[in-house]
Amino acid sequence: MKFRSHLALAVGTLLAIAPAAAQDYPSKPVTIIVPFAAGGPTDVAARIYGEFFSRTLGQQFVIENVAGAGGTTGSVRAARAAPDGYTIFVHNVAPHVAGPALYPSAQYDPVKNFDPIGTLAFAAHYIVVKKDLPPKDLKEFIAYAKANPGKLNYGSAGAGSATHLACVLFGQQAGIDIVHVPYRGTGPALNDLVAGTLDFMCDQGLNMMGQYKGGGVRALAVAQSTRFPGLPEVPTTAEAGLPGYEVSAATAMYAPAGTPPAVRAKLVQTMAAAYKDPALRQRVEALASELPGPGQDTPEALGAFTAKEAARWNEAIKKGNIKAQ
């Protein structure tokens, strides 16, 4: 009886403490794990939102780049982090869900081990080439690649990253034999494209926009059905001669599964406030990306999208017998 009442007291105290702790959240800096190198699209999106979260919640949201193995090193770290709200995770959805199928050592479940917070941005992929590559447009590029099989190389953020998968699809649909060069993020890969070591990339606007505007690289096509309003001069893949090749990336925030509901709610509320911030919207849109629209702007929508993408990529990986190396 006595033991029971002690237990009841202890549970009561815990229950009293828990909401207070959640109410005070965050009471110290929060780490955002980004599974690619600094300077790439996942990192840039995480920094834009991280600044907003820091300002709004009054604590620093600090980026930690945990790159390697196509982003799976960071996914594993985030899945194993204490679910207390002080470690959260920003990733590109495709490599996050494809990782375990490509890397047997990546022991995490992209759906069950993570609580969705919200989508940061959607960004179409672009076929971008080094500035002095002879082909002037996508048709010429495909003809040039066909005349030079196994000669054109492309950079990605590692085997299984979105920039890798997007180029695998591009090669298959264009019927060309191209060479993959993996990096720890598309930031460093883009540097080599600008330097001319790489021939092309299937890159996101979030990454290449600055270099494209500055003339460091050329964009041959955007892989979606409509031209991006901020880049009206870049044709769609259908207009440029490769209909059906459409690839878009989603960057999203998750917390490790089991994060207290009140803490999650605070993160979700802050995400909703971020969507309404005109300065944040402008920064994201300036990088050829879009904020989630109605129906896409909730954690539930991200959860459903993550599960759907996991099923889609697992099937594609099995069917295409895609290997990480």
Burial of 288 (0-12, 13-18, 19+ CB in 10 A): buried
Residue 186 found at the interface with ligand MLT (CB under 6 A):
yes
The position carrying tokens 């964009």 is: 219
Residue number, 163 or 270, with CB nearest to ligand MLT? 163
The answer to whether 100 contacts ligand MLT (rule: CB under 6 A) is no
Q: Which is nearer to ligand MLT, 41 or 83 (by Cβ)?
A: 41
Residue 238 exposed, middle or buried by CB count within 10 Å (0-12, 13-18, 19+): middle
Binding segment toward ligand MLT, per CB under 6 A, in 48-56, 155-163, 215-223, 261-269: 155-163
Instruction: Tell me the closest approach of the beta carbon of residue 11 to ligand MLT, in angstroms.
Output: 44
Burial of 81 (0-12, 13-18, 19+ CB in 10 A): middle
Q: List, in sequence order, every residue forming a beta bridge with 73; answer none if it has no partner.
A: none
Establish if 78 lies at the interface with ligand MLT (CB under 6 A).
no
Question: Is there binding between residue 92 and ligand MLT (CB under 6 A)?
Answer: yes
Among 41, 205, 241, 299, binds ligand MLT (CB under 6 A): 41
Tokens of 2: 């006595």
Examine residue 187 and tell whether it contacts ligand MLT (CB under 6 A): yes
Q: How far is the CB of 256 from ligand MLT (least distance, A)?
A: 20
Report yes or no: 182 and 37 within 8 Å, Cβ to Cβ: no
Q: Which position among 25, 26, 31, 36 is part of the footprint of ligand MLT (CB under 6 A)?
A: 36
> 195: which 2 tokens?
């330097």
- The least distance separating ligand MLT from the CB of residue 95, rounded to whole angstroms, comes to 4
Nearer to ligand MLT, 189 or 255 (CB): 189
Q: Does 74 bind ligand MLT (CB under 6 A)?
A: no
Residue with tokens 């993996």: 182
What pairs with residue 127 in β-bridges? 202, 221
Binding letters toward ligand MLT, positions 255-294, x by CB under 6 A:
----------------------------------------
Phi-psi region of 151 (alpha: psi -120 to 50; beta: other; left: phi over 0): alpha
75 near ligand MLT, rule: CB under 6 A: no
Rule CB under 6 A: say whether 306 interacts with ligand MLT: no
Terminal alpha carbon distance of the chain: 62
Cβ atoms of 78 and 254 closer than 8 Å = yes
**Binder to ligand MLT among 50, 99, 182, 185 (CB under 6 A)?**
185
Q: Give the largest Cα separation in the chain, rounded.
A: 85
Whether cis (ω within 30° of 0) applies to the bond prior to 135 is: no
Does position 162 bind ligand MLT by CB under 6 A?
A: yes
Q: Hey, what are 102's tokens?
A: 């490509």
Measured in residues, the chain has a length of 325
CA distance 55 to 293: 24
Residues of span 189-248 touching ligand MLT by CB under 6 A: none
Least distance (Å) between residue 3 CB and ligand MLT:
53
Among 139-147, 183-191, 291-299, 314-322, the segment contacting ligand MLT (CB under 6 A): 183-191
- Return the residue of 26, 40, 100, 155 that touches ligand MLT, per CB under 6 A: 40
Contact range with ligand MLT by CB under 6 A, out of 113-121, 179-187, 286-294, 295-303: 179-187
Pairwise CA distance, residues 223 & 177, whole Å: 19
How buried is residue 294: exposed, middle or buried, by Cβ count under 10 Å (0-12/13-18/19+)? exposed
User: Which parts of this chain interact with ligand MLT (CB under 6 A)?
Assistant: 36, 40-42, 92, 95, 156-157, 161-163, 185-187, 249
